Amino acid sequence: MPGIEPLQPLRQPALAPVAAASPTALRLVLGAQLRRLRSEAGLTPEAAASCIRCSTAKISRMETGHSPCKERDAVDLLALYGVADPGRTTEFLELVRRAGQRGWWRHYADVLPDWFEPLVGLEEAASSIRTYEGHYVPGLLQTTDYAYAVVRSGHALESEDVTRRRVELRLKRQELLRRPDAPKLWVLLDEAVLMRPTGGAAVMRDQLAHLLDMTELPHVIVQVAPFDVTAHTSPGNGITYLRFAMEGLPDVAYIEHLTNATSVNKQESTDEYRWILDSLSAQSPSPAASKDLLRQALERYS
């Protein structure tokens, strides 16, 4: 398709400095290093768990980046794995320290579910973000009024203050698109999103106009996936696929469910979601043709 290339399963990006990564991304790097060191030492998760007096489940969470690693645990594990080089140990412990820091999003802990926090942190470190959304415009491209309508639809009984905090968090996430090193954002939008008058006609007009404005940015691509495509290929749930220009950090697929979400970073799993997004994109109108569909939808709400 003109202007669009499928993601390749093997990456060879320019390496970004670790300093540019968010704590969430650093935990993934840290976990991958812990897993590699344990494997190279020929040790089982049970041996690692016994060393730091924890469960194998905790070892698994640490190695997949879902839980932080305490410095004292890192020291014990490095000794167990035979890492004796003082310089290497110092470098590793610095990674542990930085991976345990709190990102700006922790200021919104009152409205940020544990299952959603990883996505916010990974967005900050991503070099490219691909997302499919079947119900609403993705949060990174929502207007204030549209975001308010979406939040209220899912949290109708909460206070106005809490709703505004949720919207504020959503708008704060969008700041990454204005950075000099903004990630490439590639959105696959189900046609149903354009037909659903979220917030009413006026809100939809502003939202669609905003989408068109955002597509003028060189790093933002929007494709509309028509009904006849999503009827056969739609994954059903929202998918976000993140890629990073950082050594040691794998691609991550984040899959939304009704009340929670899961993330995977093993290649055999992420490849499946990459294929779904590639397939949807290949069957959908080009970005230029999708702009025409957005304009047509905007006219319907005028």
Domain boundaries, the chain: 19-99, 107-300
Instruction: Specify the length of the chain in residues.
Output: 302
Sign of CA dihedral 250, 253, 254, 258: negative
pLDDT at 63: 92
What one-character-per-residue DSSP string does 168-185 give? HHHHHHGGGGGSTTPPEE
- What is the reported pLDDT for 299? 97
Whether 160 contacts 136, CB under 8 Å: no
pTM (two decimals):
0.81
Are residues 162 and 236 in contact, defined by beta-carbon separation less than 8 angstroms? no
Predicted pLDDT at 9: 43
Amino acid (1-letter code) at residue 91 = E
Sign of the Cα torsion 187, 191, 193, 197 reads positive
Fold: same for 19-99 and 107-300: no
pLDDT tens, per residue, the chain with 302 residues: 434 455 544 333 333 334 457 888 888 889 889 999 999 999 999 999 999 999 999 999 999 888 889 999 999 999 999 999 999 999 999 999 988 888 899 899 999 998 898 899 999 989 999 999 999 999 999 999 999 999 999 888 899 999 999 999 999 999 999 999 999 999 999 999 999 999 999 999 999 999 999 999 999 999 999 988 876 666 778 999 999 987 778 899 999 887 888 888 888 889 999 999 999 999 999 999 999 999 999 999 98
Among the listed residues 50, 51, 74, the one whose alpha carbon sits nearest the alpha carbon of residue 62? 74
CATH class of 19-99: mainly alpha
Domain 107-300 has CATH 3.40.1350: no
* pLDDT score for 233: 64
Query: Can you give the pLDDT at residue 18?
Result: 41
Check the CA dihedral 60-250-93-82 and report its sign. Answer: positive
- Please tell me the predicted confidence (pLDDT) of residue 4: 47
